[in-house]
Structure 1
Amino acid sequence: MGIKLRLVIMNFLQYAIWGAYLTSMGSYLVGVGLATHIGIFYAMQGIVSLFMPAVIGIVADRWIPAQRLLGFCHLLAALFMAAAGGYAMTSGNGVQFGLLFTLYALSVAFYMPTIALSNSVAYCVLEGAGLDTVKAFPPIRVWGTVGFICSMLLCDAAGFQTTYMQFLQCAVLGLVLGFYALTLPACPVSRDGDRKSLVEALGLRAFTLFKQKRMALFFIFSMLLGISLQITNGFANPFITSFRDIPEYASTFGANHANALISLSQVSETLCILLIPFFLKRFGIKNVMLVAMLAWVLRFGLFGLGNPGGGVWMFILSMIVYGVAFDFFNISGSLFVNKETDVTIRSSAQGLFMIMTNGIGATIGTLGAQAVVNRLVYSQQSAAAQVAGWSQSWLVFAGYALVVAVVFALVFRYKHDPHAVEEVNR
């Protein structure tokens, strides 16, 4: 089996695991009376990303080959998710927040580092085969989005999006990838015998990137943009599904199949990944990230103005711009970090990028979004008032994204060299 195909399978499963529950867990939590806890469930992914990706990245850089560590993390994540699904199955509507959240938190603690770790494995294997990562990685990574879509649609078609079965679906896929990752080509670790400082020995030198003004600003704005990342994952499904309580929209396809509608976002993501090499080379990281920020404004704003009836076209357009919003930030940012960092700290630098985006940013974003939703939506008694509250919430999120975009355009300075994108890591 060719190297590229093996990495395609890895990426397909990597994101199929996430797609099993990421966009539908909110609706399950609403169904079991935990609607006001949606934010903390999604924020937990950010909280563990504050330290786990960096710790795992350090271990991969220094002691355990990245592909082997990737397998171990997936196996542990799958076991804890299976336990969460098993508990939810036996408890029914009597599920308690404490135990379900604990099992779920342990699972995501081992899953979240695998996102950066799988990128490191892919870069390592591609470079070992003499391939240009900027050209070769996006067409491989696109299959991760295909996996996410397939998993979402399976969850919807099987009727899992409001039940505990989405957790069990996630666990099965995790076990498969856990064992598969152990068969991937070996990635090197740094085991030289030179005397090193404590910072170097622990792999913490990635944090010295903050001494570079350009990298410091890049990571700060990554955090600010990361605030937007998990909001729609946590709240889009409950929002769209809430229209079922409005007679005018109760029988619409979108209100009854939110996951299928949301999957258009991942279809867009699949197509947009393929545009990244061209846009990075032609316009540079600053303009690519600025486009992503403006796309988030549209993503949220169209949600706030649309509905699953006559305004469904706004939902569909919101799904289309999501590909630009997510890919032009996440994938381009990861490639930028890969090019701007030394090979000896690459895994930990990717971990640092995860800390700023899916860690600090996403944690602030989901907890902040929950506060907004609690105030504008769940404080309302009637279904109509709650839907109106949802619209107001999305417009608040759009306003935030617009402010970040304007400040970024004014503050971040980066002189783009089209030829530098073609160069091997400096």
Structure 2
Amino acid sequence: MISFLLCLALLIIGYFVYGKIVDNTFGPDDRETPAVRINDGVDYVVMPQWKLFLVQLLNIAGLGPIFGALQGALWGPVVFLWITFGTIFAGGVHDYFSGMMSERNDGASIAEVTGRYLGPVMQNIMRVFSVVLLIMVGTVFAVGPAGLIVTLCKNSGMSGLLTTTLFWLIIILVYYFIATFISIDAIIGKIYPVFGICLIIMAVGVIFGIFTNPAYTIPEIWANFGNMHPSGTPIWSFMFITVACGAISGFHSTQSPLMARCMKSEKQGHFVFYGAMVCEGVIALIWAAAGCALYTITDGKMAGLAEALAAGQSAAIYDVCAKTMGGVGIALAMIGVVICPVTSGDTAFRSARLTLADWLKIDQDSYANRLKLCIPVLGVGAFLGIGNALGFINYTVIWRYFSWTNQTLAMIVLWAASMYLFKEKKNYWITAVPATFMSA
């Protein structure tokens, strides 16, 4: 438990100390932000700082710091180190610069920002890469919740239309279309802060349940400093890729421009971008601790956790919440496994629309122009999702490579940030070092 508390303290200190170093290196000033200068009432809308933080947290988190952290805990408490130092020196830096570079470039999507600093070839690669990745993420985060809702309905004794995946998938896709099309402040800005708070409450409840139950003990890093994976899967580089969003995620770079278009001041960047990533790191640390503390360790291996995860990641979340919080935890778990993926899915489609808009130079002020992009983007997502629901399309194999592509995107963004700092004659090592690590 001491090692967990030390890592938690390091994350908090990292926000105030290293996060400020990163912020000072970039050098935010009092220039007019895109949200103030452009303010189209759709994508460029000024939001208060607290709302920016919570929306950013939910956009980048979803179930990432939960699923990834639980999977990462299969390697034992050594995962605490990657979550902690990865968040401070890589993830926070990545999210901060992806957001602030976008802000300095009129809220441009990450593909356009990358192209400006790494050249037109990389720009086109990133354009295609980003759109494909975002549509894939959005589609999977529609199919997954639809299946979970069906399971809940069946377990409640329901039958008929409400127990079909296709029905719920269509409902979710219709919502995605609406959320992607209308002003960011209409749904995302109003509802998502509530869900962001729920995500935080769920994590706090889990760790409180562990601390107050003498039956649960978080193992120490120094007593278990080794590979505890039941299958013997190597720590390098599988653990780093598996944890993904809990330490660093390229997907975040596609989401940060959404909030870069809504900031009133550049000086909000430290709290909104770096702060949200540190908060996600804390959430991931808590869930990794739960994975290590709640399940049986057999012969130095995380056998109990492996067995729990074998029943499905959603079932594992349900189990953790039930053990630590009882009935309240079960309710929060249901919100988590259904709402969190949906909130990441719709912002993924929104980011895809904006990436295409920047690429094709299509202004998004008018309804007609937004429809030109919403229809094909959601159309492809619907085709993939419905095809999967009907059993015609199986992209499980493709999804296996999501974590790899996710980390690759993060690497490219960090190199773009390094080039930005180099051109600005600033300390580029703060991005070049994690970029090199991610390239290894």
Normalising by structure 1, we get a TM-score of 0.30
Normalising by structure 2, we get a TM-score of 0.29
